[in-house]
């Protein structure tokens, strides 16, 4: 399949859908294509609904300045001002856009939005009642006249080292090779959820959407864009054996966290670090306790959990025989992930969603706007669309090196031909890769552990020749393993470069156990060496407040 378009959006989740919708609003004559690895109606980190918009600055109640103070605390100063500030400034208008689409934000008896505190400062989280948010977004995309290519994995960007001109990939069911030439490409295909192994050992039992294998990080890196925050390896204390979210939903409504001794854990605000500390220091397991709450509050929590936030929870708790009125909810530590939505990892972008590669924009979890959550996905989807429409104005499609296209198609054919009789299943190989990531690339870190992973890396890449590939779905999983390996390599190089401990447990180095603001209050930026092809590490100063 050969396509040409003005704007190509890779990823049909929250950020990708918003980008496509807004692009068509800005100029209905602009052609827009979304290429989605799954099916757009139920794809991305929010495959169904959402109970809150985590960052909304309400005029007269909170302010962008207060949000930025909170963000600086959360990031421990490793934050560029402008992108996060733009997100805060545009958050309220985004809420109003969503309301105009029928998304409901509950109000109290005084007709004020219901807001809760989960940040260090200010009540920025607003309750949302939208069990079918993803369906609303998908329908808006279709109404806008956007072309949607489902079940197609992107394997390489069309890029010449200076600018991006589209992308290539294949349909994971039919194997059809897809080439889409574009004036502008917007990456919106999530973070790397499949990084380390969940405690269950189940490859897809991850907290975040398991289809997110670091595709966007790897694609951008291989094309020449810069990335940052890969040393921020994060996990969360969530429902044991299910990895479903419930902290914000329960704790903001009066629930408590207790340790194995029955002691209530001081959370400051909703501090996952304090919960993880209890586990590290041997006072686990830890539990959510709600038996002190009034019946109406427990019913409110159940309504949100069982209708909006992963309805499977209802059956899960029934099968466990747990009643929130008397039973405890055990929390377990999730796998580690790399993410720009819940964390600080991503492609370097400015306040216009521009990457360091001309013609390439990034929005959502794939972009480094720390702790942007759903608000950032929507806002920077909107920003990327506005800037992309300006960029394509009166521009022609750039010439693309046909040999690059031929080489990629041949590479994929060669894998199918050469790996038919491989001795290792895709599943078993991914398990070994992610177990090794768990062994060497996550906290506690030190020089020897991290370098040990780099010893394994070329061996894994060589041994991939032994993976058995019998259909195009397995070929897509083969490609995802390559993305995961790229992300692990980037994370290890960033972790080696930051010779200090920062962000609590998430970048704790036993050989450098103290935080060192004097020498390390700066970004670790990564890019691919043009000549060597190896990971290049840059130390980049923090951009202070104010618009540049």
Under DSSP, the state recorded for 401 is: -
Tokens representing 320?
A: 């466990």
CA–CA separation, 379 and 385 (whole Å) = 10
CA–CA separation, 347 and 355 (whole Å) = 7
Mean per-residue pLDDT for 231-248? 89
CA–CA separation, 481 and 218 (whole Å) = 11
User: Quick one: how far is CA 458 from the chain centroid?
Assistant: 26
pLDDT digits (tens, 9 = 90+) for 123-158: 999 999 999 999 999 999 999 999 999 999 999 999
What separation in angstroms does the CA of 412 have from each of 161, 221, 468, 504? 22, 20, 14, 42
Which region among 238-247, 368-377, 423-432 has the lowest average model confidence (pLDDT)?
238-247
Give the pLDDT of residue 396.
84
CA–CA separation, 475 and 259 (whole Å) = 44
Give the pLDDT of residue 547.
47
DSSP per-residue string spanning 72-97 = HHHHTT---HHHHHHHHHHHHHHHHH
Give the pLDDT of residue 545.
67
Tokens representing 371?
A: 């702790």
pLDDT digits (tens, 9 = 90+) for 293-343: 999 999 999 988 888 877 888 999 999 999 999 999 999 999 999 999 999
Average pLDDT, the chain: 95
Mention every residue, 6+ apart, whose C-beta is less than 8 A from residue 355: 187, 220, 225, 226, 347, 348, 349, 361, 362
Which region among 313-322, 346-355, 513-522 has the lowest average model confidence (pLDDT)?
313-322
Mean per-residue pLDDT for 156-168? 94
Cβ–Cβ under 8 Å, residues 69 and 45: no
Is the pLDDT at 175 greater than 50? The verdict is yes
What separation in angstroms does the CA of 460 have from each of 190, 206, 342, 406, 481? 24, 23, 29, 26, 10
pLDDT digits (tens, 9 = 90+) for 315-326: 999 999 999 999
Give the pLDDT of residue 546.
54
Cβ–Cβ under 8 Å, residues 211 and 37: yes
pLDDT digits (tens, 9 = 90+) for 377-393: 999 999 999 999 999 98
Mean per-residue pLDDT for 62-87? 96
Give the pLDDT of residue 548.
39
Is the pLDDT at 456 greater than 90? The verdict is yes
Percent of the chain with pLDDT over 90: 87
How would you classify the pairing of strands 535-541 and 237-239? unpaired
Give the pLDDT of residue 30.
97
User: Domains in the chain, start-ordered, CATH in brackets?
Assistant: 237-333 (3.90.700.10), 417-515 (1.20.58.100)
């Amino acid at each position: 399949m050969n396509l040409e378009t003005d704007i190509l959006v890779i990823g049909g989740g929250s950020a990708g859908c918003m980008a496509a919708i807004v692009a068509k609003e800005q100029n209905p004559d602009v052609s827009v294509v979304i290429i989605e690895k799954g099916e757009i109606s139920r794809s991305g980190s929010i495959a169904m609904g959402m109970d809150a918009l985590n960052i909304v600055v309400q005029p007269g109640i909170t302010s962008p300045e207060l949000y930025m103070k909170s963000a600086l605390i959360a990031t421990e100063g490793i934050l560029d001002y402008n992108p996060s500030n733009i997100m805060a400034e545009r958050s309220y208008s985004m809420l109003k856009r969503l309301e105009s689409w029928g998304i409901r934000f509950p109000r109290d008896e005084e007709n004020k939005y219901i807001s809760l505190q989960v940040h260090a400062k200010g009540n920025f989280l607003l309750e949302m009642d939208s069990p079918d948010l993803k369906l609303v977004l998908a329908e808006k995309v279709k109404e806008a006249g956007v072309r949607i290519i489902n079940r197609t994995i992107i394997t390489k960007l069309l890029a010449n080292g200076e600018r991006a001109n589209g992308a290539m990939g294949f349909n994971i069911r039919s194997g059809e090779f897809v080439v889409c030439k574009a004036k502008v490409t917007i990456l919106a295909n999530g973070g790397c959820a499949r990084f380390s192994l969940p405690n269950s050992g189940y490859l897809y039992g991850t907290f975040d959407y398991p289809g997110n294998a670091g595709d966007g990080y790897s694609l951008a890196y291989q094309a020449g864009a810069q990335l940052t925050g890969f040393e921020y390896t994060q996990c969360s204390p969530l429902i044991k054996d299910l990895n479903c979210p419930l902290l914000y939903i329960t704790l903001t409504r009066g629930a408590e966290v207790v340790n194995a001794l029955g002691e209530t854990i001081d959370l400051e605000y909703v501090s996952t670090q304090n919960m993880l500390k209890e586990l590290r220091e041997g006072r686990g397991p830890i539990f959510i306790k709600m038996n002190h709450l009034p019946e109406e509050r427990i019913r409110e929590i159940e309504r949100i959990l069982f209708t909006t936030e992963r309805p499977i929870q209802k059956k899960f708790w029934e099968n466990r025989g747990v009643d929130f009125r008397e039973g405890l909810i055990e929390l377990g530590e999730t796998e580690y992930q790399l993410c720009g939505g819940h964390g600080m990892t991503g492609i370097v972008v400015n306040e216009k969603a521009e990457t360091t590669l001309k013609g390439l924009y990034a929005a959502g979890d794939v972009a480094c706007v720390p702790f942007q959550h759903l608000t950032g996905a929507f806002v920077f989807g909107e920003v990327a669309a506005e800037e992309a429409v300006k960029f394509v104005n009166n521009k022609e499609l750039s010439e693309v090196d046909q040999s690059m296209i031929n080489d990629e198609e041949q590479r994929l054919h060669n894998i199918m031909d050469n790996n038919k009789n491989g001795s290792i299943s895709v599943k078993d190989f991914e398990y070994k890769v992610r177990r090794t990531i768990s062994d060497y690339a996550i906290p506690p870190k030190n020089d020897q552990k991290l370098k040990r992973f780099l010893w394994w890396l070329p061996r894994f890449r060589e041994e991939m020749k032994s993976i058995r590939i019998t259909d195009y779905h397995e070929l897509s999983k083969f490609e995802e393993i390559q993305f995961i390996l790229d992300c692990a390599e980037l994370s290890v190089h960033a972790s080696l470069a930051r010779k200090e401990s920062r962000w609590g447990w998430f970048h704790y180095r036993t050989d450098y156990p103290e935080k060192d603001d004097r020498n390390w209050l700066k970004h670790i930026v990564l890019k691919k060496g043009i000549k060597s092809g190896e990971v290049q590490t840059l130390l980049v100063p923090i951009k202070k407040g104010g618009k540049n």
